[in-house]
Structure 1
Amino acid sequence: MEQTNTKFLPVSKADMAERGWEEYDFLLITGDAYVDHPSFGSAIISRLLEREGYRVAVLAQPDWRRPQSFTALGRPRLGVLISSGNIDSMVAHYTVAKKRRHDDAYSPGNRAGLRPDHAVVVYANRVREVFRDIPVIIGGLEASLRRFAHYDYWDDKVRRGVLFDSQADLLVYGMGERATKEIAARLASGTPVSDIRDVKGTAYIAKGPAECVYPKVEVASYEAVCADKRSYAEANMAEYREHDPIVGRAILQRHGGDLLVVNPPAMPLTTAELDAVAELPYVREPHPMYDALGGVPAIEEVRFSVAHNRGCFGACNFCSLAFHQGRIVSARSHESVIREVTALTKHAGFKGYIHDVGGPTANFRRPACQKQMKAGLCKNRACLSPEACPNLDADHTDYLMLLRKLREIPGVKKVFIRSGIRYDFMMRDKSGEFCAELVKHHISGQLKVAPEHCVNGVLDYMGKPHIEVYEKFRQKYERLNQKYEKEQYLVPYLMSSHPGCTLEDAVRLAEWLNASGRQPEQVQDFYPTPGTLSTCMYYTGIDPRTMQQVFVPTDPHDKAMQRALMQWKRPEKRALVQEALRRAHREDLIGYGKGCLLRPNGGAPYAHRSGEKPAGRGKGGVGAKGRPSDRPDKRGKGDAPAGDGRPAPKRKAGWAAPKPKKNTRPGRGKKKL
C-alpha cells in the first residue's frame, strides 16, 4: 500500500492537462472537501471507478449560487455522480435546536456554509441547468436516507422522495460500490440511463409497476403518508423490513402520477471485495489546495485509524446505519488490515499509535448468526434487544486474533479502539478473553459505550438492551481495571427526549446518575434524522413496530428540562431542574439528603440551615469546558462531572472523570466553573 507516488484525482482543467486528458468520463460532486481517504465515501467511489478504467474528476464544494462553478471542468462524457458528503447536509448545518452551526469539520479551516441546505437536491438541479440531459446519479448518506417520502425535521413536514426534487435519473443507496460499478459499465456500453432499471441498491421513477423486474410490495403513497400518520408509520416499517439483501423485495411508492421504485438492496461486499476497496490507491490526506485554508479537520480522527468492518446488527432505532449500511456485517481479512497498518507506520506523522480499529460497531466481525445469510433478517425481533437472541454468535476470537497481530507490527506502540463497542454483545462472549485484553491493551484512558438511558421502558423504544446489562458490564469493567492496576474510565453516552421518555423518566435518569456519582459534561438530545424508526415515532406518535401510541416530548421547554436534569449541578440549569422536579411531583429531591439533586437555600448548591450539619457531598468533580455536541454521528468527547469547586475524592477505576487540580490560590474558596 505504498502511497508516495499516488496522485489526487483531477480537480481542475490544469490537472487534466497534466494527465494528458482531453475529456473525462465521470464528474463526482461532493459537499465535503476533497479528502482522498477510505473513510470518505466520495473517495471510495472515485477510486473504484478509476480502478475500472474510467477517468474521474472531482468537484468538491462548488459554489451552488453560480451555475458556472459546475462547468469548471467541462462536460463529462458519461455522467455526473452527486453526494452531499459523509453526513446529511442539514445535520451538518443545524443543531438539534435548529440553530445554525458555526463550524464544519468536513470543510477547509472548519468553516461552515460551504455547502447548501439539502445539498443533493441543489447540486443536482444546478447540473441539470448547465448540462441538460446528462445522466445524473445521486448517492451517499443523504440520498440514501431520503429515498422514500420522509419526515424532514428541519422543515417539519413530509418531503417527497429525493429523486423527485433533485430531477436525478438514478439514486444509489447503501454503500454503493456494486451499483455504481454496474451503472458505469452500462453507461459506457451505450445503454441509455432510462433503461437501467434492474440494478440492486438503486431507485428510479417509473410510470407503472411493470417496469419493476423484482418481487415487489407497494406502500402508502406520498399523499397518503402526508395526510395520515398511521399510514406513514406502516410505510416506514415496511421500508425498514424490506431492507434485506437476502429476501428483501422492491418497494413501490406513488408520488402523484409517478411511481417511485426502490429495488432490493445490493448484497454486502465479500471479504475479498472489501479488502480490494480498502486498499485502493488513496493518498489518505486532504487535497493540498486546502493547506493555506487550515486543512480539513475531519482527517484528524481517521488518519491513523482503520475500518475493519461494515454493517451493524445492533439496530438502534435512532441510528441511520440499519437503513444505510444494513444489518448484515461483513469484514476485511486480517492480512488486509495488517497491510494497511504496516503502511501507516511509514507515514511521516505516525507516532506509534493506531487510534482505532473499528467501524460502525468495533467488535462485530461476522453476521449475527448463520441463519441471516440463508433466510435473511428476522422481521419481528432484533438481535440484541431487549434481550440477546439465543442464535447470536458472540465469539470474539477472530477480532481478538486480529488485534494481537496488529500489536506485534514493528513500529506500533499501542492499538486503541475508539469507535463504538457493544458491551451487551461482549458480555455474551462466554470466554471473557476479549474483555480482559480490551482493558489491558486497547483503551486510551476512556472507554465510550452507549447505555443511552436507565429506564427500561425508554430503552425498549430506543431498541437498546435493558440497564441491568450495562450495570453488569460496568462491574466487570471495574474489576478488570483493578485486577490489571489500570486507571481507565467508562464514559456512558446518554440521550434525552427520545420518544417514549417522559419527564418522570428523565428524573429517574438523574437519580441514577446521582447515585452513580456521575454528571455528564456533554449530553445528547434526540435528533430526528431522516428514515429512522425513532424519527417515525417522533413525527407520528406511533411506534411502527407495534402500531401503538407513544409519548413524544416535542415542546422545546420540556426538552430543555429533560436535558437540564442530566446536568442538575450546573448553576445555570437550576431553575429548569427545579421546575422539572415540581412538575414531576418529585419535590423530595430538593433537600439535604444524600439522594437529593438540589439544595433548597437560594440556589447555593451545598448550603445548610443554621445549626444543622451539612449533608455529605456527592462524587462530583470539576467539569471540562466544551460545547455540547448534538450530531448523531459525532457526540462530545468530554464526560466529566461538574462540582462545587472543592477537589473531587479519588474515584474507583471505571468511572470517567479527570482528576481536578487542587485550588492552591490563597483566599479563593471555589474554582470558576
Structure 2
Amino acid sequence: MFLPINQKDLKKLGINQLDIIFVTGDCYIDSPYCGVALLGKYLYKNGFTVGIVSQPRLDTDEDIMKLGTPRLFWGVTAGSVDSMVANYTPLRKKRKEDDFTPGGINNKRPDRATIAYVNLIKRYDRFKKPIIIGGIEASLRRVAHYDYWDDKIRKSILFDSKADILVYGMGEITLLELTKRLANNEDFRDIRGICYIDKTPKEDFILLPSFDEVSSDKDRFIDMFNLFYENNDPITAKGLCQKHIDRFLIHNPPQRILTQKELDEIYELEFEHDIPPELKKLGKVKALDTIKFSITINRGCYGECNFCAITVHQGATVVSRSKRSIINEIKKISKLKNFDGIIRDIGGPTANMYEIECTKKLKSGKCKDKRCLFPNPCKSLKIDHSPLISLLEEIRRVPSIKKAFVASGIRYDMVLNDKENGGRYLEDLIVHHTSGQLKIAPEHIDPNLLRLMGKPPLSDLKRFIEDFYKICRKNRLKYFLTYYFIAAHPGCGTKEMEKLKNYISENIRIKPEQVQIFTPLPSTYSSVVYWTEKDPFTGEKVFVEKDLRKKKLQKEIITV
C-alpha cells in the first residue's frame, strides 16, 4: 500500500482528514530508504493516518493543500540530502540533475527546502496546525552552524524556519511519542531528540555560547561545537541551550538507541519499493535503480570521519538488524516485479560494522577522550567479522538470489585489525560480493591531512592493497580497487595534491576518476576547520583553500 498522495487516495481509504501530512523535497519513494515513507508507515502501524506531499510548487496552494489540513501536525523535510548539497556542486554551481526527482532534472527542490516548505504551509494553512521539521537538513542545522553557501554562521534552522518543533536524528521513537502527546494535548517538552524555542534557558542544561558570540568570535564557535559534539551520545549527553537574540533554543538530550527488535520491526513494515503510479508518469526516478533492491543491515557509524555528517545524524553507536529480519526482507524483495536476482547493496553507513560494537559504550556511553577507530582501533572494540561472514553466507544460499553486492563503503582498517576473521571476510567480499571492483575511500595519503580528516594511516592502505591483490591472484580474478579521494580539504594545498599524484603514479598506477572537491557540511568538524582556519583539537593554524578556481585546480592535478 502506498500512503495517500491525493484526494482520490483519501476517498478510496475512507479518510476525511489525515492525522499527519509529511512534506518532502524528494519524490515519494515507498521504501525504507525514504524517511517520510518509513516514518509514515511506522506511524500508520501505530494507529495514525498519514499522507505525503512531495516536491510541492511554491507559487500556488494546489500542491501543498491537496490533502487538506492535518488534524495533528505537518512534518517537513528537505529530503534525503541537504537541499543546498543537492542543488549545488562544491564549486557552488547549480546541479543540473537530481536523482530523487522524476525525470532527473533538478527543478523541483528549492534552496533551503525546509525553510521554503514551512513558509509555504504558513501562507496557506488557515488553521495554523503545528509544523515539525526533521530529516538530515534540519538535524545538521539544529544549532548555530557554519553555512558554506552563505559563508557565514546561520541561526538554528528552527529560528530561520519559524517551525514549532525540530526532531533530530533517526526519529522513529521521538516522532511516535510526540504524535501521541499532541493527540492527547499533553506537554511534549521533555521528549528526548527534539528542539524547541523558549523565552528562558532550561535549568541543568548546558548553556552554549550564544548565536551572537559564535557569529563574531571563531574561537567561541569552536568552543560551542566541541560542547555540541560531546553531547550527542544518548547515555552521557546533557541537554543544551543556546541564546538567539532574545530567545533560547532548547536542545533536549538525544533519543535512546533503538534495540535490535525495534530496528527489525521498522524494516519489516510493508513497502512497495516503488513510486506511486501518478508520480511515475512524471518520469524515471534514478535513485530507485539502486535503493529498490538494496538492504540496510545496520545503522550508525563509529568511524567519525571529520568531514562526514553521519555521526551527528545517525549517532556513533551501531545497531544491527537480526539475520532473520534481513533474510526475510531479501525474500520479500525477490518477489517484487522486475527483480532480476541481484541485490544492489548489502550495507549501511559502513558496510562492515555489522554486529560489531563496544560493550563498554553500550553500557556507559561513548568515550569523550578518544574515538573507536582513530588514530587506531581501540582495544575495547572487539572487531570480529564472523557475524557478517555468516550473514553473507546465508544470503548466498537464498535460492532466488544470483548475486548480492556490497556497494556501501568498508573500513579497511577494521578488516586489517581483525586478525582472526578479517582475511576470510575480505576473501568472501571479493569472490562473492563485488562486480569486479571494490570501492575504498583512503581520501588522501598525506599524514597531516589524514589526521585532520580522522582517517587511517597510509600504512593501512598499503597493507590492504597487498591483501586485496593477493586474494585476487589466489582466486585467479582480474579484479581491481576503485579509490575515492578528496581535494581541497582543510590543510590541503597544491603541494599535498602533487604528493598524492606522485604516490598514485608510482604505487597505484591508475588515473583516479572518483575525486571530489571538499564540501563543508553543516555540523562537521571539517566545516569548523574550514570556517575558523584552526585545528579545533590543538588550536593550531590550518591552511584552507577558499578560492574556487584553485579548488578546481587541486582536483585537476590528479584527474587531468
Same fold (TM over 0.5): yes
1:486 aligns with 2:480: no
The 2-side partners of 1:411 and 1:487 are apart by: 27
Q: CA RMSD in A?
A: 1.2
Q: For residue 157 of structure 1, report the CA deviation from its aligned partner.
A: 1.2
| Residue in 2 that maps onto 1:262 | 251
Are the equivalent residues in 2 in contact too, given 1:163–1:204 (CA < 8 A)? yes
| Residue in 2 that maps onto 1:544 | 536
1:566 aligns with 2:558: yes
1:383 to 372, 375, 378: 372
| Residue in 2 that maps onto 1:471 | 462
CA deviation string 1:256-295 (max 9, x = no partner): 1100111111112111100111011111101111222222
Are the equivalent residues in 1 in contact too, given 2:485–2:514 (CA < 8 A)? no
Q: For residue 350 of structure 1, report the CA deviation from its aligned partner.
A: 1.6
The 2-side partners of 1:436 and 1:12 are apart by: 50
1:438 aligns with 2:438: no
| Counterpart mapping for 1:33-432 below 5 A | 33-131=27-125, 133-191=128-186, 195-210=187-202, 215-366=204-355, 368-431=357-420, 432=423
CA deviation string 1:48-72 (max 9, x = no partner): 1100111111111111222443222
| Residue in 1 that maps onto 2:521 | 529
Are the equivalent residues in 1 in contact too, given 2:309–2:521 (CA < 8 A)? yes
Q: What secondary structure, in the 3-state scheme, does the structure 1 residue paired with 2:463 have?
A: helix
Q: For residue 546 of structure 1, report the CA deviation from its aligned partner.
A: 2.5
Are the equivalent residues in 2 in contact too, given 1:290–1:296 (CA < 8 A)? no
| Residue in 2 that maps onto 1:665 | none
The 2-side partners of 1:233 and 1:177 are apart by: 31
The 1-side partners of 2:527 and 2:223 are apart by: 13
The 2-side partners of 1:103 and 1:561 are apart by: 24
The 2-side partners of 1:393 and 1:444 are apart by: 30
The 2-side partners of 1:135 and 1:203 are apart by: 14
Are the equivalent residues in 1 in contact too, given 2:356–2:383 (CA < 8 A)? no
Are the equivalent residues in 2 in contact too, given 1:368–1:383 (CA < 8 A)? no
The 1-side partners of 2:374 and 2:531 are apart by: 23
Q: What secondary structure, in the 3-state scheme, does the structure 1 residue paired with 2:21 have?
A: strand
Q: For residue 240 of structure 1, report the CA deviation from its aligned partner.
A: 1.0
| Residue in 2 that maps onto 1:621 | none
Q: What secondary structure, in the 3-state scheme, does the structure 2 residue paired with 1:424 have?
A: helix
Q: For residue 367 of structure 1, report the CA deviation from its aligned partner.
A: 5.2
Q: What secondary structure, in the 3-state scheme, does the structure 2 residue paired with 1:108 have?
A: coil
| Residue in 1 that maps onto 2:509 | 517
Are the equivalent residues in 2 in contact too, given 1:236–1:544 (CA < 8 A)? no
The 2-side partners of 1:156 and 1:46 are apart by: 35
The 2-side partners of 1:479 and 1:562 are apart by: 33
TM-score normalised by the chain length of structure 2: 0.97
Are the equivalent residues in 2 in contact too, given 1:137–1:168 (CA < 8 A)? yes
The 1-side partners of 2:160 and 2:71 are apart by: 24
| Counterpart mapping for 1:545-624 below 5 A | 545-567=537-559, 570=560
Are the equivalent residues in 1 in contact too, given 2:77–2:133 (CA < 8 A)? yes
Are the equivalent residues in 1 in contact too, given 2:301–2:310 (CA < 8 A)? yes
The 1-side partners of 2:280 and 2:326 are apart by: 29
CA deviation string 1:130-188 (max 9, x = no partner): 22531110000000000011111111111110001111111000010010000000011
CA deviation string 1:91-143 (max 9, x = no partner): 11001111111110001010212021101011112212222531110000000
The 1-side partners of 2:481 and 2:226 are apart by: 35
The 2-side partners of 1:69 and 1:433 are apart by: 53
Are the equivalent residues in 2 in contact too, given 1:237–1:545 (CA < 8 A)? no
> Aligned AA for 1:46?
G
Are the equivalent residues in 2 in contact too, given 1:500–1:551 (CA < 8 A)? yes
CA deviation string 1:541-581 (max 9, x = no partner): 122222322111112232222111112xx3xxxxxxxxxxx
Per mean C-alpha deviation after superposition, the further-off stretch among 291-300 and 442-451 is 291-300
1:248–1:412 Cα change, 3 Å:
same
| Residue in 2 that maps onto 1:10 | 4
Q: For residue 482 of structure 1, report the CA deviation from its aligned partner.
A: 0.3
1:30 aligns with 2:19: no
Q: For residue 500 of structure 1, report the CA deviation from its aligned partner.
A: 1.2
Are the equivalent residues in 2 in contact too, given 1:31–1:83 (CA < 8 A)? yes
The 2-side partners of 1:253 and 1:190 are apart by: 27
> Aligned AA for 1:301?
T
Q: What secondary structure, in the 3-state scheme, does the structure 1 residue paired with 2:108 have?
A: coil
Q: For residue 368 of structure 1, report the CA deviation from its aligned partner.
A: 3.4
The 2-side partners of 1:23 and 1:564 are apart by: 55
CA deviation string 1:461-484 (max 9, x = no partner): 000011110110000001000001
> Aligned AA for 2:151?
D
Are the equivalent residues in 2 in contact too, given 1:101–1:112 (CA < 8 A)? yes
Are the equivalent residues in 2 in contact too, given 1:275–1:333 (CA < 8 A)? yes
1:138–1:108 Cα change, 3 Å:
same
The 1-side partners of 2:540 and 2:143 are apart by: 23
Are the equivalent residues in 2 in contact too, given 1:233–1:543 (CA < 8 A)? no
> Aligned AA for 1:383?
C
Q: What secondary structure, in the 3-state scheme, does the structure 2 residue paired with 1:33 have?
A: coil
> Aligned AA for 1:199?
I
The 2-side partners of 1:227 and 1:439 are apart by: 51
2:493 to 502, 520, 528: 502
> Aligned AA for 1:534?
S
Q: For residue 509 of structure 1, report the CA deviation from its aligned partner.
A: 0.5
Q: For residue 314 of structure 1, report the CA deviation from its aligned partner.
A: 0.6
CA deviation string 1:209-259 (max 9, x = no partner): 23x6xx421111101111011111111121111111110111111101100
Per mean C-alpha deviation after superposition, the further-off stretch among 59-68 and 478-487 is 59-68
Q: For residue 438 of structure 1, report the CA deviation from its aligned partner.
A: 1.3
The 1-side partners of 2:222 and 2:27 are apart by: 36
Are the equivalent residues in 2 in contact too, given 1:542–1:550 (CA < 8 A)? yes
CA deviation string 1:298-334 (max 9, x = no partner): 1111111100100000110000001100100001000
